[in-house]
């Protein structure tokens, strides 16, 4: 089924009708995601033009253009302009290829997305274009053909093209978020799409299941579960019935996959003390990575896999440390506060996000050189378990700001904080998947 | 003179004889009744004594069982408490653990599980490790008091099983605990 869908979506990328030369990959100056004070780019996304009128086309052009606006809005890069302010009705335009840019620059729009929708039976054809209205230039143009139910994929595919053109990064639109929810009465692992769409339960262990961790290619999930009565480590393939369980004496917790390897680090306490070990994907111990008395747990890897940040109580309070794997040298990263846990290494490799306690738990970001830390959440309940989006532009976390714990998203600079989804019960411990290509 | 002698002789012989006969008859009758009576009495007394003994024994057993049950209940119900982010055994916790050690040493056939729990304030993963430390420090203390390691196992529930769902210091204090179960 999945393969079939992948084939369909491969087939539908019919044509890329770039006009002009030297457009491709030249747009990095539009959005500099390393700049800490982002200016949101005003963008106009009028309702897509219906090539042939009809009720079904009407609905589809409305939902597809709204979805495209929401998807772009999710990134935090754009200011989506109010359609009531638009000077032209795209439905009355004779040709989508001819744009009167003045109509758009005069309302403050710097970017414009136009779309045309053609519906034939259960097939849909969409023609989507991104323009720079001031330079009066077509930046990206694509035509897609697929089944009506694939419209979400088509819109996301085009959004990925837009973000890639503007930032040079593949973006997040093919990523997913794993998290813990007790909606069923027990804590189980769930997965939803990057924007909270389509949440689904992936474990049915009827126990306490915690700490989901994606492998770096997105095919495996590791987590902790009490399914056999005590905290054991589960390693499961997401599509096939393959996997392993590590149930040594004591706690078997906090898995973190080594980037681009079928190996993971985890905290095991069978020696009488929680220490971090390197394990194969089949659950065999390769070697021990921490050797200090006291709690060691919550490893997180640098993108090159050469360093590991983790939590240790070796100095009396839980703090974040970094170990260089080759040299074995360990240095302390956090010095502010008496309780810093849940480190998450950024995909760019330059920062670590973590939860720090000062009364309540809040999300902080610190440079791996120790610069900062910068506090991103400010005492709206407990804010915990930060995890970076694969492009490093967003951070997902859990918060009790509205009472029960829910999953929230913000930019890497702490702006645009919003709830991702709300299921029955409480949701905690989100983990953002890597970018997973076109699916 | 001869007649007087005869009377005297008769007196001497008969009266004691009579007396003997009387006393003899009387004695026979009395001994028959008293023997059965005595046997009955003795049996009854013995039975009563036995019943009394049994009652005492039963009561003793019951009291013993109650004591044992009380000791067992105390073992099960008396939690030890910890300070925030600490697995250090406080003086009160040590007092409770001494009683638990005594019980375990007196009940070598019993095997116990020590559950380590935390309050909700920390983060989930760290609390799993902290709960593990709490259970382990109780286990070490008990073993130092002579409890066999084979009688003890540890499990951490982190912050997953609070006894008090409240979000205040009172609830947190109750939830930072070591709890004992008998396997």
> Which of A102, A133, A167 is the last residue in one of the domains?
A167
Looking at the fold, whether B67 and B90 belong to one and the same domain comes out as no
Asked whether the beta carbons of residue B126 and residue A311 sit closer than 8 angstroms, the reply is yes
Q: Collect all residues of chain A within an 8 Å Cβ-Cβ radius of residue B136.
A: 269, 272
Name the residue among B122, B129, B160 with its Cβ closest to that of A274: B129
Say which CATH number the domain at A266 has.
2.120.10.30
The Cα of B125 is separated from the nearest Cα of chain A by a number of Å equal to 7
Residues A287-342: pLDDT tens digits? 999 999 899 999 999 999 999 999 999 999 999 999 999 999 999 999 999 999 99
Looking at the fold, whether A273 and A418 belong to one and the same domain comes out as yes
3-state helix, strand, coil in chain B (%, to 5): 65, 10, 20
How many domains does the structure of chain A reveal? Answer: 2
Looking at the fold, whether A150 and A188 belong to one and the same domain comes out as no
B155 touching A (Cβ < 8 Å): yes
Looking at the fold, whether B92 and B110 belong to one and the same domain comes out as yes
A437 within domain boundaries: no
A438 within domain boundaries: no
pLDDT for position B40: 84
A426 within domain boundaries: yes
Residue in the block written with tokens 């065999």: A284
Q: Are A85 and A58 in contact (CB under 8 A)?
A: no
Query: From A186, which residue of chain B is nearest by alpha-carbon distance?
Result: B160
pLDDT for position B121: 92
> What is d(CA B89, CA A275) in angstroms, rounded to the nearest whole number?
22
Asked whether the beta carbons of residue B126 and residue A298 sit closer than 8 angstroms, the reply is yes
Q: Which alpha helices (DSSP H) does A25-97 contain, by range? A: 55-74
pLDDT for position B18: 52
Looking at the fold, whether B145 and B102 belong to one and the same domain comes out as yes
> Which of A112, A133, A167 is the last residue in one of the domains?
A167
Looking at the fold, whether A117 and A224 belong to one and the same domain comes out as no
Asked whether the beta carbons of residue B126 and residue A341 sit closer than 8 angstroms, the reply is yes
A315 or B17, which is more confident? A315
B59 or A437, which is more confident? B59
Looking at the fold, whether B96 and B114 belong to one and the same domain comes out as yes
B163 within domain boundaries: yes
Q: Are A148 and A182 in contact (CB under 8 A)?
A: no
Closest CA to A335 of A360, A359, A371, A299: A371
Asked whether the beta carbons of residue B123 and residue A269 sit closer than 8 angstroms, the reply is no
Asked whether the beta carbons of residue A318 and residue B124 sit closer than 8 angstroms, the reply is no
Asked whether the beta carbons of residue A355 and residue B123 sit closer than 8 angstroms, the reply is yes
Looking at the fold, whether B46 and B64 belong to one and the same domain comes out as yes
Mutation target for A interface from B86, B132, B154: give the one with most A CBs within 10 A.
B132
Q: What was the ipTM of the complex prediction?
A: 0.89
Asked whether the beta carbons of residue B85 and residue A318 sit closer than 8 angstroms, the reply is yes
- Residue B96, domain extent: 78-182
Looking at the fold, whether B72 and B88 belong to one and the same domain comes out as no
Residue in the block written with tokens 């967003």: A394
B40 within domain boundaries: yes
Q: Collect all residues of chain A within an 8 Å Cβ-Cβ radius of residue B126.
A: 295, 297-298, 311, 318, 341-342
Say which CATH number the domain at A47 has.
3.40.50.10070
Q: Which two tokens stand for residue A58?
A: 């009407």
Q: Which residues, given as ranges, of chain A have pLDDT below 50?
A: 1-15, 18-25, 438-439
Q: Which alpha helices (DSSP H) does A337-404 contain, by range? A: none
pLDDT for position A33: 60
Looking at the fold, whether A360 and A224 belong to one and the same domain comes out as yes
Kindly report the backbone phi and psi dihedral angles of residue A240, in degrees, each rounded to the nearest multiple of 5, phi listed first. -110, 160
Asked whether the beta carbons of residue A274 and residue B124 sit closer than 8 angstroms, the reply is no
User: E strands along chain B, which residues?
Assistant: 80-81, 112-117, 152-158, 177-182
B2 within domain boundaries: no
Residues B134-162: pLDDT tens digits? 999 999 999 999 999 999 999 999 999 99
In A9-46, which positions are buried (b, 16+ CB within 10 angstroms) versus exposed (e)?
beebbeeeeeeeeebeeebeebbebeeeebeeebbbbb
Rounded to the nearest angstrom, the gap between the alpha carbon of residue A84 and the centroid of all alpha carbons in its chain is: 31
Name the residue among B85, B123, B128 with its Cβ closest to that of A251: B128
Q: Collect all residues of chain A within an 8 Å Cβ-Cβ radius of residue B157.
A: 208, 226
B126 touching A (Cβ < 8 Å): yes
> What is d(CA B97, CA A344) in angstroms, rounded to the nearest whole number?
39
> Which of A167, A185, A208 is the last residue in one of the domains?
A167
Sign (positive or negative) of CA dihedral A121, A124, A125, A127: positive
* Pairing between β-strand A296-301 and β-strand A307-312 as defined by DSSP bridges: antiparallel
Say which CATH number the domain at B154 has.
3.30.1330.60
Looking at the fold, whether B112 and B175 belong to one and the same domain comes out as yes
Looking at the fold, whether B112 and B176 belong to one and the same domain comes out as yes
> What is d(CA A290, CA A329) in angstroms, rounded to the nearest whole number?
11
Instruction: Report chain B's mean pLDDT, rounded to a whole number.
Output: 86
> What is d(CA B16, CA B14) in angstroms, rounded to the nearest whole number?
6
Looking at the fold, whether B43 and B107 belong to one and the same domain comes out as no
Name the residue among B85, B121, B132 with its Cβ closest to that of A251: B132
Looking at the fold, whether A214 and A136 belong to one and the same domain comes out as no
Which of these ranges, A120-124, B76-80, B111-115, has the smallest mean pLDDT? A120-124
Cis status, amide bond into B18, omega within 30 of 0: no
- Residue A153, domain extent: 2-167
B96 touching A (Cβ < 8 Å): no
Q: Coil, strand, or helix at residue A216?
A: coil
pLDDT for position A14: 46
How many domains does the structure of chain B reveal? Answer: 2
> What is d(CA A265, CA A82) in angstroms, rounded to the nearest whole number?
48
> What is d(CA A178, CA B54) in angstroms, rounded to the nearest whole number?
67
Mutation target for B interface from A182, A225, A274: give the one with most B CBs within 10 A.
A274
DSSP label of A434: P
Sign (positive or negative) of CA dihedral B25, B27, B30, B35: negative
Looking at the fold, whether A225 and A331 belong to one and the same domain comes out as yes
Name the residue among A187, A229, A341 with its Cβ closest to that of B123: A341
pLDDT for position A54: 79
A208 within domain boundaries: yes
Q: Are A174 and A391 in contact (CB under 8 A)?
A: no
pLDDT for position B13: 57
Asked whether the beta carbons of residue B128 and residue A224 sit closer than 8 angstroms, the reply is yes
Which neighbouring-strand residues pair with A358?
A360
Enter the pTM of the model. Answer: 0.86
């Amino acid at each position: 089924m999945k393969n079939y869908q992948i084939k369909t979506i491969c087939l539908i990328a019919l044509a890329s009708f770039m006009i002009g030369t030297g457009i491709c990959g030249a747009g990095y100056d539009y959005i500099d995601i390393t700049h800490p004070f982002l200016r949101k780019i005003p963008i106009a996304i009028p309702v897509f033009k219906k090539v042939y009128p009809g009720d079904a086309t009407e609905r589809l052009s409305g939902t597809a253009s709204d979805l495209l606006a929401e998807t772009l809005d999710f990134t935090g890069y754009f200011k989506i302009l109010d359609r009531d302010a638009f000077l032209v009705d795209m439905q009355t335009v004779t040709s989508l290829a001819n744009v009167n840019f003045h109509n758009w620059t005069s309302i403050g729009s710097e970017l414009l997305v136009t779309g045309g929708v053609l519906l034939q039976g259960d097939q849909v054809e969409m023609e989507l274009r991104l323009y720079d209205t001031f330079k009066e230039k077509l930046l990206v143009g694509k035509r897609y053909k697929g089944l009506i139910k694939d419209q979400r994929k088509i819109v996301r595919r085009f959004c990925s093209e837009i973000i890639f053109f503007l930032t040079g990064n593949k973006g997040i639109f093919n990523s997913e978020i794993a998290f813990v929810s007790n909606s069923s009465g027990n804590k189980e692992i769930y997965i939803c799409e990057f924007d909270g769409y389509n949440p689904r339960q992936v474990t049915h262990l009827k126990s306490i299941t915690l700490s989901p961790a994606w492998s770096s290619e997105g095919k495996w999930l590791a987590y902790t579960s009490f399914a056999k009565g005590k905290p054991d480590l589960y390693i499961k393939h997401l599509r096939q019935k393959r996997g392993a369980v590590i149930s040594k004496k004591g706690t078997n917790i906090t898995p973190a996959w080594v980037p681009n390897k079928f190996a993971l680090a985890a905290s095991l306490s069978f020696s009488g003390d929680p220490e971090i070990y390197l394990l194969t994907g089949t659950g065999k111990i390769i070697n021990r990575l921490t050797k200090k008395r006291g709690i060691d747990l919550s490893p997180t890897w640098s993108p090159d896999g050469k360093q590991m940040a983790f939590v240790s109580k070796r100095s009396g309070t839980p703090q974040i440390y970094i170990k260089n794997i080759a040299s074995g040298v360990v240095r302390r990263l956090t010095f502010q506060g008496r309780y810093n846990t849940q480190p998450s290494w950024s995909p760019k490799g330059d920062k670590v996000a973590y939860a720090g306690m000062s009364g309540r738990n809040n999300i902080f970001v610190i440079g791996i050189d120790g610069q900062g830390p910068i506090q991103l959440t400010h005492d709206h309940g407990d804010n915990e378990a930060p995890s970076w989006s694969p492009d490093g532009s967003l951070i997902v976390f859990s918060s009790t700001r509205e009472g029960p714990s829910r999953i929230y998203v913000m930019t890497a600079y702490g702006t645009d904080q919003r709830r991702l989804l709300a299921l029955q019960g409480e949701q905690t411990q989100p983990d953002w998947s890597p970018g997973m290509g076109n699916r | 003179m001869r007649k007087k002698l005869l009377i005297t002789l008769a007196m001497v012989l008969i009266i004691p004889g009579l007396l003997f006969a009387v006393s003899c008859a009387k004695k026979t009758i009395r001994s028959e009744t008293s023997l059965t009576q005595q046997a009955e009495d003795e049996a009854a007394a013995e039975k009563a004594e036995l019943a009394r003994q049994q009652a005492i024994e039963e009561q003793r057993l019951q009291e013993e069982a109650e004591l044992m049950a009380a000791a067992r209940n105390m073992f099960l119900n008396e939690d030890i408490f910890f300070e925030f982010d600490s697995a250090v055994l406080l003086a009160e916790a040590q007092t409770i653990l001494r009683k638990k050690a005594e019980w375990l040493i007196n009940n070598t056939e019993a095997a116990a599980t020590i559950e380590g729990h935390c309050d909700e304030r920390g983060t989930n993963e760290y609390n799993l490790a902290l709960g593990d430390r709490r259970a382990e420090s109780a286990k070490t203390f008990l073993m130092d008091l002579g409890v066999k390691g084979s009688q003890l196992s540890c499990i951490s529930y982190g912050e997953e099983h609070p006894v008090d769902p409240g979000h205040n210091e009172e609830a947190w204090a109750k939830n930072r605990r070591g709890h004992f179960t008998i396997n």
